[in-house]
Amino acid sequence: MGSIINKALIIGALILAQTLITTYVVADELPDFLYSKGGIIYPRTGDSTQKIFRTPSFATDYLRPGMLLGVLPNDCKPASRGSIGDYYLCHHDLALKPEEMEGKTVYRVIEVN
């Protein structure tokens, strides 16, 4: 029984490591108007009063499932589907699922078409 638990923990750690590595590798390839802070992607607004962030048409070029966004794009609408539960559907076929992380809401990319 203990070896099964150890194997499960090792597999879980490998999956988590792969997700983190993929997130950081892709985050390094972000366009200039986005930046990664602690593995969470945020928009650069340039003006602190500008709080609008819309899904760019080329979002599928750099956003991958599993990545985290710190800001919900302005064009996203609430949706719900079966086992996925509540999520947001944004322009350009981007789907985001809200999660709590360290007391803040972040949005995990769950689908990009």
Report the alpha-carbon distance of residue 24 to residue 77 in Å, rounded: 27
Which pLDDT belongs to residue 51?
A: 59
Render each residue's pLDDT in the chain as its tens digit; 113 residues: 566 665 555 655 445 545 544 444 455 577 887 888 888 888 876 654 455 677 777 777 888 899 999 988 889 999 887 777 889 998 888 899 999 998 999 999 997 66
Rounded to whole angstroms, the Cα distance separating 84 from 81 reads: 6
The domain locations on the chain are 2-112
Residue 47 to residue 50: CA distance in whole angstroms: 5
107 alpha carbon, distance to own chain's centre: 5
8-state DSSP, 8: H
